[in-house]
Every structure is written in C-alpha cells, then in structure tokens.
Structure 1
C-alpha cells in the first residue's frame, strides 16, 4: 500500500507539473531580401559569390528548390506575402512611387495581425514599398497609414526603394533626424518650385555634373541625392538623409537592438533588406569581395547581415527557439534603372560567369521561371529537420501556413488565396501546393499556372504597367514541362493541346475565384 501511495503521489506530481509547463512560442525572423535570384546563393549554385552564412542557415535548415515569390516585381510580391491575396486581384498592386497611397486597406488582415493575435510583438525593419497614408503624406509630421496601422508594433522603414525619394528612414511614422528648419517636400510628377522652403538638391537633367556616383536612365534622372540620380524630386530633410553605403549596417544595428530588447517575449520580425536592389552601393569593407562588381559585393554584404542576425540570436540564447526564414521578393536583375555597377560587361551584354537565375530563364519583370523562383530556407533545427525539399511553395501561402503553426484561427474572408502548407513547410510533405499562380508586369508580362512539372503562361502585351490584369489583352499561351525543359525553351502547346487546354481552364477558374 505504501508503494502504491508513493507511486500515485509521484504520478500526480508529474501530471500537475506537465499541466503548468508553458510551451514556449518560437520567435520568427523573416529575412526578406530584394532582387536576389535563385542562383545568387552558394547552396543554390553560386560559384563566384561567397555566402557562408546563408549556406550555414541552409545546412541546418530546410532548403526549398521550387519556392516562389508571388510576382516578378517587389510591390506585388510584398502585398501577397502580407495579405495572403494574389496581387493581380488588386488593380493598384503595381510598383508604387515613394509617395503613393497605402496599398493594403487598413481593415485587411495581415501577417502582422496574425502574430499579434497570437500574442507576439511585431516589427518590420527595412524596405516597405507598399505605400503610405491616404493620398497626401505629411513628411514633416506624423505620417498616417504606415505598417503600424497594419499590425506592426514597431516599424523602421525605407518608405519605398533606395532609388526613389524621399531618401530618409521612417520610424513609427516619423522621419528620423528631421530638422523642423528644413521641411521635406516630395513630388513625382513635376519639379518642385525654387521658392519652396528646404534644402535644394541638384536636378540630374539640368546638373549632370552633380551625378558623381550613379547616373540613372530617364526615369531615374530627377533629384541627385548622395551623388546618385533618383526617381522623383525632393527638397529639404538634409539632416535626415540616409547614407547609402551605411544602409545595411544601419538596418542590421536596428534589427540587433530590437531582438535584444524583445528577447524575453515572443516576437515576429520582418527584416526586409535593401540589398541587393539598385543602386548598389556596398559599404567599403565589402567592395572588391567578388569579381561581379557591386552586385556581387552587395550579396556578400547581405550574407554578412544574415550572419549578424544569427550571431545575435545565439548571443541572446534564443537561437534554438527562433525560426529564421530567408527568401527574396522576386528574381534577379543585373542592370536596373540604368545604374551601371560593374556586374556585367555592358559592351557584350553578358554576365561574367555568374547566372543569377541558375538554370532558369529570365528574372525580375519576367514571367519566365527565373522571375519568381527564389531561394527559400526555413531554419528551426529543434522542430524542422534539415534537408532539401522540392515541394511547390508560394509566399502567398505564408499567412495560412503560419496560422496553422500558431494554431491561430483566421478571420472569415482573411487571406483569400493563402493555403495551409505547414506539412510542406515543416518538411513532412514533399508535394506542397497542387497549383501555384505566378505573375509579372514589365519586360515579359503575364500570368502563369504551375501544376507539378507543368507550366502554362498566359502572355500579355509587353510593357503593360499598372493596368489591371483582368483588363489586359491576352496575346497567347505557352506550355512547358519544367522537368524536361527547366529553361522554358520548347513551347509544347501544339504537341500537348489537351494539357494546355486543361491548364488554361484551371487558370481561368483561378483568376475568377480565390485559391483558398
């Protein structure tokens, strides 16, 4: 009897202890890069760019070979990642200017809302490019309509891109280091009158001698900031200007500070790097790190950023309880905006032995596979086994996938195109999504449907910018078997008419109805 009593006492103690044990929520750090192609990372085949920190992340994590940004350009991809809705359903989801109205409606449910509802602190540090405000932005006061409106507790952002004005950081809706004596004015449609108060910056067209670092194309030939001609005109804010060559270090310092200040509570942090978007101006310590000009050097700088994040997590003792995700917003581009940074030989129009899209064709602005197929690494060694997955994955599916991971129900009508791919995300399912939609606007525009090895492209007229997808003329279809033809060289529409017809019907249905 004494033995039985003793055993029952121990059993009850163990039961009560297990009931009182709190399951620790993992921190989540999403490192979302810019214009990084499938072949820009060592573990994805890059030979001329050393990326030891990203490679280490992949070696202890799950590396995906068929993961996709939602679009071949940044604003649509970021919109889909944040909302779980394909960007072609939103007529305004094209590349936005620096003073554009917020693209995401304040009542839309976002990735940040999901994590807040699950009890997380949420932050975004880096590039935003999803618009601000309601049409008129007061850069000299509190900017309304920011990431803070959409579920982020903290934001420290580049308002649009590093080739657009205003060239300032915005922290929780306020321009950092702005002097009241030097108010900011921004214009994208006409030059700012000379009598407008604020520091004047040279006009690239009128003062070409002021362009001491990077001359851009016609679109990128407005205000000259830090020796670089940019998109748009700006006056004022001299004390608030960012340093292009210090940008990566500035953002990493903010990321490290945020993680240190929130190490004791679960957080979700989006670190949206400016690297490797043009104009590429790496810090001097990284210049000459590759034979690929500043584009390659910027990749080395990006790799250092990843290393700093991982080192900080380890120093804080929270690395084991942190899921780190590495990916890109679209495929690569060598020369963008007319900025010649030494990556390619402009006389021969070829790269120097480095194919940023790997075996795939195309890149940014193009509906070919290289436009959206990007690196995706999910690292959480305590929960996700290291390896390589060929599962079909879209960033649009992140929201519903994280909802499953967090066991957090989604509101009705939230994330209409986002599907729960947690089994694939965690390495337990090798297939992933049954179908996937890709989109591109620009040099080779259109929509595409992926189904396993098959890909059907619906071609749109070239250089269609901003026009809603449902109003665009369809100029033809192309069908490819990626298992046999990853470079999309052999159009199979005539030799496989039944498959082309089947996929065309699925794509028509997908355009008319949400995927979820």
Structure 2
C-alpha cells in the first residue's frame, strides 16, 4: 500500500514537473525574426491600399489588413545611398557624412565604425542576409559582409548605372551613359556575373525572391534578419515573363505586380515553415517616385514633387508592418515616423542592443503594439544634397526653408523609359504648410500662424547646431566621418 502511494506520489510529481516545464517553455518569449522589404523609387500612391489603380497588389493589401498601415512615414533623405544609410543605422545620413547616390567612381562608403542593423542583430545571435541593392559603397571594405551580413547577393549600386541607352540598347559613341561600366552582380564579396542586357534586369525580382525564400527555409530553426532591397521599380524597369503584359497600366504596373508577388512568396515561405506568427515583416520604399520618367514612374497620390526633393512627394512613402498577435490587424496610423525609427524599434522588440554612438531614430514600438495615441517622434529634419537643410517639421506643421532645389513642375514627363526635363536649381521660398489640411503643400499660411513659424525656425536652428547646414555655411557639432578607402 505504501509503495503504491509512493509510486502515485512520484508519478504526480513527474507530471506536475512536466506540465510546469511545458508551460514555461510555451510561455517563454521567442525572439522574432525580421524581414525588411525595401522598394526602390516606389511612390506613396503605388500600392492598392494607398490608392493605386490599373493594377492589383493583393498580397500587400492583405498584409495591410493583417497589420498596420502608416500614412505619415518619411525617409530620411529622398535619394538612394543616403536613404539606405539612414535605414540601416538609425541616423540622418548627413550625420554620417553620406549623401546622394554613389556610383562606380565613389571612393567612400559607410564607415566601419558605424553599427548597422545587421551588426546589432548579429550580436544577438541572428543570422543575417541581404539580397538586392546595397548602394553604400562598392569597394570591399564597404560591402555587406563587412557590415554585419552573413550573406549577400545583388547589385552594389543602382540598376541604371550602366552603359545602356534609355531604350535598352547599347549607348552610341559619345553618349553620356558610356560614363558607366557594365553592372557587376556580386555574391559575397566577389563579382560573379555582369548585368548587360534588359533581359538580365527582368530576372532580378524573381532572383532576389527565390534566394530570400531559400534563406527562410535554411534558417527556420534560428532567428534571422532578412533585408530584401529590390532593384525595382527604379528605371530601367525589368519584369519577368510571368508578369509582362498582365496589368492595365503597362510595364510599370507589371513591375509592381511582380513585386507584390514577391511579398506573397516571402509570406508563404514564413507560413510554410511555421514562422508566420513569429516574424515581423516590414514593407516600405527608399524615396518617392522619379516622376520625370512618366509612364515608367510611380505616383505620389497627390503629394507635391517626387524623388530628390524635400516636399512630401519625395519623402513620404508607403509603410506596412505585420506581426500577428502583436501588431493589431487592419489599423491605420497617422503618427509621424521614419525609416530611422526602425532600428531602435526593432532593437526594442527583438532584444538587440542599440548603437553606442548617437542615433536619430526613436522607438515607435508603442504604436506597433496598438497605442495609437503614442507620439514618440515630434519633429523631423529634411536634408538634401550634401548637407543642406531644406525644411523642418513638427507634427503636421512643416516649414520649407529658402533653398535651390529640384522641381518637376512645368515640365512634361518622359515616356517609355526616356526621362523628361527637370530643374535642379529651382528657388524655393520659405513657406509654412499645415499638412493635415494641405498634404499637397500648396497654401502658404505663415502670415496666419507667425508663432508656428517662430517655433519651427528655432527647430531649424537646433538642426544646424547639431548637423550643420551648407546653405548657411554651418558645420554642425555632431557630424561623423564617412568611410574612406584604406
């Protein structure tokens, strides 16, 4: 009898212990994976849920219904290299000495002393990969494997930096595009092939997508950070046969539908490998559309100007973030936020460290968790060119400062891959805009709100003291050196 009672007691203890261990295991938080998908030159109005017409983006639209859609999400600078530097470091790019879009002649790149998002994830035990466009320096010391990524495949800079005419044919003698060599395609640290024909451009979206899916399958049992910066829809446009001629909008619509397919393939791979509920998926763009390319460019949904300007059409981009069970479904937020906020936010959500040097991003995880009254970002600086402060913003108030800048207005756009004219030195005069009522930045209200102008001029002065301003010949106290070839 005693033995029986003892056995029953021991069995009960074992069962209780097993239940406790099972409960503890099931409730122990697991570090989420992160997939960051970055389009190139995608406009604010280029996704169905943001108003796109004549083509369909069902996977992105479903992602928006299952996650959060941002309507006031800004890039740090409306041009390729600068925007990507900001995304990966959480800093205004001019803080790092980075501006513009590097080509094959650049002898600079991201400084090895800067800590990228990939390096922070790697310190926490994540596998890291980038498949797509890098554009932070093409020399070996600047390439992704030296900046926290375990795997890299893609182009080192923009897909239009090649010796081809706008019609896809080799540039004739004396043509300005002969300035460029053929496009190198890199695997790891080495060139493995060249992109020399439009047909090679057609392969890029599918190639990057297939490699991303493979990476997900290979790393389903460990946390990972996957960065997927597409070449598209930057000109020259390329699309595979499976999507060519499928949209009502022509080639541009075909390209966006293939990018939407790519998002669908990534989401399917996550679900098929049991990772769907433990992966943060982010989709956004590096800047607004290059609108002088006409029917080969996107649209801004009525926002003013486009890529390369400090108006909203250049800086405001679509952003959708999905994380089942954490990010509430079908929510739209108008809170001011930026690509520079993604690094500190993901670090907070994933338990990764933040850089030891000063960054400009703020943690917006409270918004992602459903606190729609949270407002962690109060202001934003609009810099362009090397280090020119062109505008400042506090919540919905935006003060555009005197500056010479790009304008597309007054010029007919190009067609079928050929660009229209633009003015790179159009004088912009100081103007105050209430973006809540006037997102198109058409009505200057500085005479009505002189107190707001005064506040924003003070904000501009704070920016100049910190980061400088070439327009006023101010250096700034806290800028850091860019990386140089050793």
After TM superposition, the score normalised by the length of structure 2 is: 0.80
Whether 2:455 is the aligned partner of 1:502: answer: yes
CA 89–331 in structure 1, closer or farther in 2 if over 3 Å, else same: same
Give the corresponding residue for 1:213: 168
Secondary structure (helix, strand or coil) at the match of 1:222 reads helix
Distance 1:233 1:490 in 2: 45
Whether 2:357 is the aligned partner of 1:413: answer: yes
Correspondences of 1:49-68 after superposition (within 5 Å): 49-68=55-74
CA 488–236 in structure 1, closer or farther in 2 if over 3 Å, else same: closer
Give the corresponding residue for 1:103: 109
Contact 2:288 2:317 in 1 (8 A): yes
Gaps of 5+ in 2: 1-5, 186-190, 408-424, 468-477, 479-486
Deviation of the 1:290 alpha carbon = 2.7
Secondary structure (helix, strand or coil) at the match of 1:508 reads helix
Give the corresponding residue for 1:85: 91
Gaps of 5+ in 1: 134-142, 166-202, 224-230, 345-354, 465-471
Give the corresponding residue for 2:253: 296
Distance 2:404 2:345 in 1: 34
Whether 2:444 is the aligned partner of 1:511: answer: no
Deviation of the 1:250 alpha carbon = 1.2
Contact 1:362 1:370 in 2 (8 A): yes
Distance 2:126 2:393 in 1: 34
Q: C-alpha offsets along residues 232-279 of structure 1, whole Å, 9 cap, x if unaligned?
A: 134999982231111111111111111111111110000000110000
Deviation of the 1:120 alpha carbon = 0.6
Deviates more, 1:302-311 or 1:454-463: 454-463
Give the corresponding residue for 1:360: 303
Correspondences of 1:78-157 after superposition (within 5 Å): 78-133=84-139, 143-157=140-154
Distance 2:65 2:184 in 1: 47
Give the corresponding residue for 1:200: none
Contact 1:99 1:131 in 2 (8 A): no
Give the corresponding residue for 1:283: 240
Give the corresponding residue for 2:317: 374
Distance 1:373 1:308 in 2: 26
CA 91–61 in structure 1, closer or farther in 2 if over 3 Å, else same: same
Contact 1:80 1:86 in 2 (8 A): yes
Correspondences of 1:40-55 after superposition (within 5 Å): 40-55=46-61
Distance 1:361 1:505 in 2: 25
Contact 1:98 1:161 in 2 (8 A): no
Whether 2:342 is the aligned partner of 1:398: answer: yes
Give the corresponding residue for 1:267: 224
Deviation of the 1:100 alpha carbon = 2.1
Match of 1:75 among 78, 81, 87: 81
Structure with the larger helix share: 2
Deviates more, 1:445-454 or 1:242-251: 445-454
Distance 2:363 2:72 in 1: 17
Whether 2:180 is the aligned partner of 1:232: answer: yes
Match of 1:159 among 156, 160, 173: 156
CA 7–476 in structure 1, closer or farther in 2 if over 3 Å, else same: farther
Give the corresponding residue for 2:177: 222
Q: C-alpha offsets along residues 441-495 of structure 1, whole Å, 9 cap, x if unaligned?
A: 49xx85322222211122322369xxxxxxx9x9742210011111110112233
Secondary structure (helix, strand or coil) at the match of 1:396 reads helix
The number of equivalent residue pairs is 433
Secondary structure (helix, strand or coil) at the match of 1:124 reads strand
After TM superposition, the score normalised by the length of structure 1 is: 0.76
Secondary structure (helix, strand or coil) at the match of 1:298 reads helix
Secondary structure (helix, strand or coil) at the match of 2:256 reads helix
Distance 2:305 2:285 in 1: 15
Q: C-alpha offsets along residues 300-341 of structure 1, whole Å, 9 cap, x if unaligned?
A: 1111111111122222221122111000000112344xxx7x
CA 239–509 in structure 1, closer or farther in 2 if over 3 Å, else same: closer
Contact 1:366 1:441 in 2 (8 A): no
Match of 2:435 among 482, 495, 499: 482
Distance 1:398 1:35 in 2: 19
Supply the RMSD in Å over aligned alpha carbons.
3.4
Deviates more, 1:313-322 or 1:361-370: 313-322
